[in-house]
């Protein structure tokens, strides 16, 4: 019985070390595979119950674990949509075959890195057929609230580089400084005019002419300006007429009175109606000098900003560290079109490993949660980067030597048991 257990222990040793060699060979073979997670083989002893002082060898068995939480180094690339997670978490992806098949809710897999490029259908895919998933943004670039404990809100990221797109201007912020000495009694009362471009829903360029005329008093300083807004595309037409006064102490906006156009609101905006539709003009809140101000110096219309854009096509997309996908248009506009979340779970090593360096949640890994990139435990998303294999070739070669020696020693045990059994058989001669 004891000799037989020795034989079984040697056989289990051969099997366990063969399994270890298989994992080592897999690790070395994928030492150049981006995003590969090495496999670690652990040995566990098996102890058999002994009776009457005789010892029975239990042998050994092996268990393999894919070390998904181990990360390789990040290497720089020249592709804006080469993505890698810098820290904890994974990118959500789906299979291109499933997406092309018209599946409404493709199965979500996860990976830590991928070289994504736009294909003929406008999807961001890897060479192995993984489609990047993300939350679609609203038309104005803002993000709705999506559920974080399910992939129901995720969609394959898709955009059309040949399609013309335009957006109408809905708001203009006037960041202008008016010269304080222009409202003094000695001033010539010279009006200041700025032309501001805006866009209609078709992307057509239109102009507003904004004129600021100081009120010159007989004595002292009035600190008062007349602002008139003319739509140059509509004959022209006066669409806004406002009287503004400023605090002489700090140059902040003191009051705004409307003669034509919408009244000045508490949030600092006033609505005017252009030939392209309604438009919000931001003048600033009362007591604030962030937008309109009256300080000493020259007329400075350096802070005029607006939304909207002319018709243009997408030239390129880029992903920032927070996972927002920015589309850069030929018109010069940049707009957020998707947000890529970072998936995380309690036990990443418990996930089910699949082909193409992808993984799927399992009962052992726990439920996933979709974080904003860079928020709390989730790492940032790095563009122009790929994650190298987590394999340490030197360490794997060292383990190979140890595994080879252990395999040879177990083979020697079997050989020795065979010789002992032969000697036992020879007793009968």
What beta strand segments (E) does 174-330 contain?
Answer: 177-179, 192-199, 205-214, 224-231, 237-246, 253-260, 269-274, 277-282, 293-295, 305-306, 309-312, 314-319, 324-329
The length of the chain in residues reads 429
Q: Domain boundary at 311, 339, 360, which?
A: 311
Phi, psi of 182 (to 5 degrees): -75, -15
CA 150-369-69 angle, to 5 degrees, is 130
> Is residue 29 domain-shared with residue 116, that is, in the same domain?
no
Instruction: Enter the pTM of the model.
Output: 0.76
Q: Which domain holds residue 284?
A: 171-311
> Is residue 327 domain-shared with residue 343, that is, in the same domain?
yes
> Is residue 304 domain-shared with residue 414, that is, in the same domain?
no
> Is residue 305 domain-shared with residue 320, that is, in the same domain?
no
> Is residue 192 domain-shared with residue 291, that is, in the same domain?
yes
> Is residue 215 domain-shared with residue 100, that is, in the same domain?
no
Q: Are strands 237-246 and 130-136 parallel, antiparallel or unpaired?
A: unpaired
> Is residue 266 domain-shared with residue 191, that is, in the same domain?
yes
Q: Domain boundary at 282, 311, 340, which?
A: 311
Q: Domain boundary at 267, 296, 311, which?
A: 311
Q: What is the distance between the alpha carbons of residues 145 and 137, in angstroms, rounded to a whole number?
A: 10
Q: What is the distance between the alpha carbons of residues 411 and 13, in angstroms, rounded to a whole number?
A: 8
pLDDT number for residue 53: 66
3-state SS of the chain: helix, strand, coil percent to 5? 15, 40, 45
> Is residue 175 domain-shared with residue 307, that is, in the same domain?
yes
Q: What is the distance between the alpha carbons of residues 246 and 222, in angstroms, rounded to a whole number?
A: 9
Q: Which residues pair with 114 in a beta bridge?
A: 83
Domains held by the chain: number: 3
CATH code at position 271? 2.60.98.20
> Is residue 227 domain-shared with residue 333, that is, in the same domain?
no
pLDDT in tens, the chain (429 residues): 577 788 888 888 899 999 999 999 999 999 999 999 999 999 988 777 666 667 778 788 888 899 999 999 999 999 999 999 999 999 999 999 999 888 878 999 999 999 999 999 999 999 999 999 999 999 878 899 999 999 999 999 999 888 888 888 999 999 999 999 999 999 999 999 999 999 998 889 999 999 999 999 999 999 999 999 999 877 788 999 999 999 999 999 999 999 999 999 999 999 999 988 999 999 999 999 999 999 998 999 989 999 888 888 899 899 999 999 999 988 888 889 999 999 999 999 999 999 999 999 999 999 999 999 999 899 999 999 999 999 999 999 999 999 999 999 999 988 988 888 888 888 876
> Is residue 100 domain-shared with residue 206, that is, in the same domain?
no
> Is residue 380 domain-shared with residue 329, that is, in the same domain?
yes
Of 279, 289, 271, 268, which is closest to residue 175 (Cα–Cα)?
Answer: 289
For the chain, state the CA radius of gyration: 36
> Is residue 54 domain-shared with residue 185, that is, in the same domain?
no
């Amino acid at each position: 019985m004891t000799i037989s257990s020795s034989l079984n222990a040697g056989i289990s040793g051969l099997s366990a070390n063969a399994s270890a060699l298989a994992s080592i060979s897999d690790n070395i073979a994928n030492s150049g595979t981006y995003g590969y997670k090495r496999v670690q083989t652990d040995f566990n002893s098996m102890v058999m119950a002994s009776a009457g002082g005789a010892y029975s060898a239990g042998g050994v068995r092996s268990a393999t674990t894919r070390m998904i939480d181990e990360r390789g180094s990040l290497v720089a690339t020249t592709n804006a949509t080469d993505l890698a997670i810098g820290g904890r978490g994974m990118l959500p992806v789906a299979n291109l075959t499933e997406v092309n098949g018209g599946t409404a809710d493709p199965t979500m897999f996860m990976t830590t890195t991928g070289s994504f490029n736009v294909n003929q259908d406008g999807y961001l895919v890897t060479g192995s057929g993984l489609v990047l998933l993300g939350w679609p943004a609203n038309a104005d670039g803002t993000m709705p609230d999506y559920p974080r404990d399910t992939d129901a809100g995720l969609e394959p990221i898709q955009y059309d580089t040949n399609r013309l797109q335009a957006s109408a201007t809905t708001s203009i912020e006037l960041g202008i400084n008016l010269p304080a000495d222009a409202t003094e009694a000695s001033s010539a009362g010279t009006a200041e005019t700025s032309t501001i471009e805006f866009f209609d829903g078709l992307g057509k360029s239109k102009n507003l002419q904004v004129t600021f005329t100081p009120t010159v008093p007989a004595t002292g300083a009035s600190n008062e300006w007349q602002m008139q807004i003319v739509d140059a595309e509509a004959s022209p037409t006066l669409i806004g007429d406002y009287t503004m006064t400023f605090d002489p102490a700090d140059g902040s906006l003191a009051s705004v009175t409307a003669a034509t156009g919408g009244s000045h609101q508490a949030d600092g905006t006033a609505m005017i109606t252009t030939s392209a539709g309604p438009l919000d003009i931001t003048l600033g809140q009362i007591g604030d000098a962030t937008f309109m101000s009256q300080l000493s110096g020259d007329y400075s219309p350096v802070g005029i900003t607006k939304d909207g854009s002319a018709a243009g096509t997408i030239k390129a997309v880029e992903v920032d560290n927070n996972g927002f996908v920015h589309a850069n248009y030929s018109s010069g506009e940049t707009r957020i079109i998707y947000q890529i979340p970072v998936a995380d779970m309690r036990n990443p090593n418990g996930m089910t490993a699949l082909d193409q360096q992808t993984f799927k949640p399992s009962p052992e890994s726990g439920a996933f949660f979709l974080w904003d990139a860079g928020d709390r435990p989730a790492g940032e998303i790095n563009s122009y980067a790929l994650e190298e294999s987590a394999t340490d070739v030197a360490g794997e070669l060292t383990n190979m030597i140890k595994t080879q020696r252990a395999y040879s020693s177990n083979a020697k045990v079997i050989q020795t048991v065979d010789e002992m059994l032969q000697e036992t058989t020879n007793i009968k001669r």
